[in-house]
Structure formats: structure tokens, C-alpha cells
Chains A and B, each alone.
Chain A
């Protein structure tokens, strides 16, 4: 009896302690400390190392056709022009007759202009946790993205084909399915949601959408790997327990058109850093 009651007292004491701790934690923004760390890291973002490699790849004559992307690849701003290209993609490319995001467009150039095989690029398109180096395509995307540092998103939504991709992406974001029967919008379609410590942006608003595309391509401090928004979108499907789309598919372009399009007018800070 005595033992039981003292056990009970201990229990209630622990409960009170836990309660006071949670009150204390709530008074401080849980992200504030990490934001300070991120600001510090942004000054010396390892993404720059990948930028440098991407620039070399962009300018080097490579592939079976021995041409450089700098002299053959049009990202929408003229052949070889990287400046402001990233914040204006996805866009419609007449030569490919498709709306393409940056990564998809660079892959298209590597295949069509340099003569690389798509299957070879798609075999290992993203850096794994045990890989010391990012794939070439990741370095290229990082370099192209760096050309849009501190520029505002300006996706040409007036173009009917881009608008079409935008609307498809919007519908996909609202599409509920999978074993858990939820859509992107279940978590990312309203303000103020979070998963554990992660605040979830509302992708339907410009302020929310920019949080979704900001920082990609990004250097993940966990594992020290460089990853692109193509990888990030694929990971959304994985988290949703969906089959993951094929590499550089139209599906991802549509979703990126929706997210980037909603970010129009918002500042892109360039390749970022993630925890």
C-alpha cells in the first residue's frame, strides 16, 4: 500500500514536471535556434563546391558529340545563358515541345545536344548518403540555380502550355490517394500546420510556396549530400507511400510549375542549405 501510494506521488510529480517543461518550450520559437545556425552556415554553404564543379561541367566539351552545354543548351534565356534562367523555369520549350523544369531541361540538353544516353543519367540521378560526389546533373543544376541568386521568381504563367502544367500540378496537389488517403494539400494546403517540429508551408500562397522551392537545390547537412528539387518532389511521393515517378518526368514538372508559379514575385536566394 505504502509503496503503491509513493509510486503514485512520483508519477504525479513527473507529470507536473513534464507540464512545466512543455510550457517553457512553447514560449520560445522552437525553430529560432536552428535558424541562427542556418544563417551562420549560409555564409559558407558547401553548395558552392558543387556550383564550381557544375560550372566546369557546363563549360566543358563532353559527350559523344563533344560539345559543351555553354555553346548548345538554351535554358530559355538564349544559348548558354545561365543568368536568371532558374527563376524563369519551368517554361515551354518549342524545340522539345514540352514544359520543362531546370533539371529536366538540362537532361534534355545532355541527351539531345551532347549525345548522352538518358538511361545512363537516370540510373543514378541523385546523391546517396554513402556517395562522396553528387552526380554530374546535380552539379549542373546547382550551377544553373546559382545564376538566379537574389532574383525574383517569374514563371511565364501567361503561356497557355505553362498554365496547363500549372493547373495539372494544382490538381495533383489536391489529389487524395494512397494507403493513407491524403493529398499534398492535406498538410500543405492550409496555414499553421506542422509535423513534429517542422512547420509546413501553405503552398497555395506566395509566402508558403516560396518556402517550398527556396533552398533547392540544397546541401543537406545530414549526410553532407547535395540534392535537387527533383529529388525533393520524388521524396514527397515516397512519404505519401505513392509509387515514385520516373526520373525527370512530366509529373514533377507539373508540380514544380504549380509551386514555382505560386512563388512568382518572391525572391529566390540561390542554392541553399538544409538540416
Chain B
């Protein structure tokens, strides 16, 4: 099973800053291992962020993103206590969803 994410969401003034840290190999499929065999591609393909039940990010990412990536978003309109749900699906169909509350 995929590793849990770390999500922080903080309200500063009227702007909420959301930072997400994901644990993922993000293999490009371009690398070779010690034996010379190609390491198969394994990367997150799509991710979504829902805040307070409303979808605020619905994006596609690919192999140019690093291993264990960090994402940062800024948004207006969220309140303290709003539920932040982040989900991703990778190219092997593996998925993960974690949540946090706006602080």
C-alpha cells in the first residue's frame, strides 16, 4: 500500500496555504538499474484537492516531478476547520487519499 501523505493547511489572513508531501517513487521509466535493466515507469498521474467538500485542484502530473514530491497551493475562501482531502492515482492504478483540517 502507498505511504501516507503529510498535509498542512494554514489560514493566514484570508489566504489558506496548503502544503502536501507525498511519498512516491516517481520513476520515469528512463532509468536503468545496476544490472542494466530498465526500471519500469511508476508515477502519479492525477491528483485532486478538495477543501470543505469543494474541488479546488484537479490536475495531472507526470514523470518530470521528483521522487517524494511536495506541492504548495494558496487559496481564498476557506475557513478554519474545513476538511482538506488530497487524493492521487498513479499509472499502476495505485491510489491514496489523506485528509487534514484547515488550522
Contact = CB atoms under 8 A, between A and B. Distances in A.
Interface of A: 41, 43-46, 48-49, 52-53, 130, 132, 219, 221, 224
B68 A49 contact: yes
B75 interface: no
B15 interface: no
A151 B11 CA distance: 28
Nearest to A51: B6
B103 interface: no
A46 B31 contact: no
B70 A46 contact: yes
Given A52-B4, A53-B3, A132-B25, A46 B68 contact: yes
Contacts of A41: 70
Contacts of B20: 44
Nearest to B70: A44
Given A224-B66, A224-B68, A48 B6 contact: yes
Contacts of A45: 21
A49 B21 contact: yes
B66 A44 contact: no
Interface string B3-18: 1101010000000000
B34 interface: yes
A241 B53 CA distance: 58
Given A44-B6, A130-B39, 14 more contacts: A43-B19, A44-B72, A45-B21, A46-B21, A48-B21, A49-B3, A49-B23, A49-B68, A52-B3, A132-B25, A219-B68, A221-B66, A224-B66, A224-B68
B6 A49 contact: yes
Contacts of B33: 130
Contact of A46 (B23, B27, B72): B23
